[in-house]
Amino acid sequence: MDIDRQKKIKNPPQSYWLASTDTTDYPNLNEDISADIVIVGGGIVGILCAYLLKNEGLNIVILEADHIVQGTTGHTTAKITSQHGLIYDKIKSQMGIGLARQYAEANETAIHEIKKIADDNQIQCDYVPQAAFVFTEQEKYIQKISDEVKTASDLGIKAEYVEEIPFPISIRAAVRFDNQAQFHPRKYLLALAQNIYNDGVRIFEQSRAVDIEEDNNYVITTDKGKKVTAQKVIIATHYPFYNKPASYYTRIYSERSYVVAIKAREQYPGGIYINAEDPARSLRNQVTDDGEIILVGGDHHKTGQGMDTTKHYETLMDFANNIFTVEDIPFRWSTQDCMTLDGLPYVGQFTSDTPNLYIATGFGKWGMTNSMASAMILRDLIIEGESPWQDVYNPSRKTILPSAKNFIVENYNVAEQLLDGKLSQLPKDIDLDPGEAKVVKIDGERIGAFKDDDGNLHLVDTTCTHMGCELNWNSAERSWDCPCHGSRFSYEGEVISGPAVKPLKFSNDINTLERLLKDEY
């Protein structure tokens, strides 16, 4: 039977990965300290970097703004695959076979390294080998899939052309990668984090880095004014919070995508799947203590832009009902991915002139293997001075023609969003139902108003604290999202995700908020 979509859409979003694991409680940084290396960000990249560098005998500190493994890593679909859409023939065509081989070797190696770390540390993380498929229902993608099979095979990946998948979908073609996998990312990373913490890596939560200064060493300052002095710094904050002098915000944009986790009458046939065309649709399963769930993912839009965000969940529910007999939707969530101009991550030195400052970002929607590859690249650069995969991931790689075009398009979009937000005509009243939000103008000030389920009004300044873009309301996650660079804030103004590091001005009282906006309070 089809379930009542509207009834389910009212349930608050919740990630299965978060719901099935305990919240961490590492200390916050309350004094000035020093280390060999400070890693800013406690997601999958930060934890894996700390693990590999700890094994080299280095003194490591991790600074996490919230709780570790709770951001993008806690909202992934957790597919461990070197199959990142139809990417290898694209890299070969635009950048050459050599860089395509680097990318293939990095991500194939990452699959095995993730499993090796789990085995070495005796981590039970629901690791399951799977085959991965990219399929199409459109004739125009048949040749692209055929080309991808050939190129991937030439690069040493076990790839096969197939014409069927085990779902009632009339596909035209598909590429199958063998020897891929899936896992529970928080079971994996929380256990690994505890192991490295017990072995001397210092992990600090609720300790947001807000600035970096360079003296003889680097000095990282937190939002509480505490400082960490380190010889080397790795920025692993998903979207880099620090941009000087590289201006990463001109080369990265943020996209949101969605997942509904369903229970179906049918048993899932195995494998992990994604289509080649838009809108994106992906499938994988997960065995839980309460039976099997099927993760139906897809839909995407630039953060803070697009239609009512609840509609994306509804379209995924429609897709699921066309394939399965859906009996329940116990979980749903969305995630945010950093996209680069040429579709490849930026991993390595922050700039060519910063030999001791490193970055890992821009994984698109393929963060599991790219995170492991990034940790290996950064370890090699720090310890050996070079990595066999450094060129394809190099943040300072030469811009090729397609990415130059994307640079113009994406930055025009940012300017357009900035201008539209400033000039938009706004209502002047605050007549809201519980759970509803709107942007209003009161005495010339642009104010975001949200009424919670208890009828309490929450007012914020809707100007993003990163670069001044005007925020839009995300009805599905009940957050204020930036359409320019992807920062997100709670309805009480707290930073959910960067690059912003400062909260919004907030009050439950309109007079108080007006004074805050005028800096009179």
**pLDDT tens sequence across 7-36:** 455 578 999 999 999 999 999 999 999 999
Give the C-alpha separation, 395 to 372, whole Å.
Answer: 17
| Residues 441/442/444/446 CA torsion (nearest 10 deg) | -40
Q: Per-residue pLDDT tens for 275-291?
A: 999 899 999 999 999 99
Q: Per-residue pLDDT tens for 450-459?
A: 888 888 888 8
Mean pLDDT of 250-267: 91
Work out the angle at residue 348's Cα, subtended by the Cα atoms of residues 346 and 351, and round it to the nearest 5 degrees. Answer: 90
**CATH 2.102.10.10 describes domain 399-521:** yes
3-class DSSP string for 470-501 = ECEEECCCCEEECCCCCCEEECCCCEEECCCC
SS3 content of the chain, % helix, strand, coil (to 5): 30, 30, 40
184 in Cβ contact with 286 (< 8 Å): yes
Distances in Å between the alpha carbon of 355 and those of 55, 232, 245, 467, 482?
A: 21, 9, 14, 27, 32
Reduced to 3 states (helix: H, G, I; strand: E, B; else coil), residue 392 is helix
Domain boundaries, the chain: 399-521
In DSSP notation, 277-334 reads: SSSPEEEEEEEETTEEEEEEEEEEEETT-SS-THHHHHHHHHHHHHHS-EEEEEEEEE
Q: In percent, how much of the chain has pLDDT > 70? A: 86
Question: What per-residue confidence (pLDDT) applies to 487?
Answer: 84
The Cβ of residue 453 has, within 10 Å, a number of other Cβ atoms equal to 8
For the entire predicted model, the pTM comes to 0.84
The Cβ of residue 429 has, within 10 Å, a number of other Cβ atoms equal to 10
pLDDT of 3 > 70? The answer is no
Question: What per-residue confidence (pLDDT) applies to 118?
Answer: 98
Question: What per-residue confidence (pLDDT) applies to 47?
Answer: 98
pLDDT of 401 > 50? The answer is no
List, in sequence order, every residue forming a beta bridge with 135; answer none if it has no partner.
174, 275
Of the candidates 44, 271, 303, 54, the residue with the CA atom closest to the CA atom of residue 175: 271
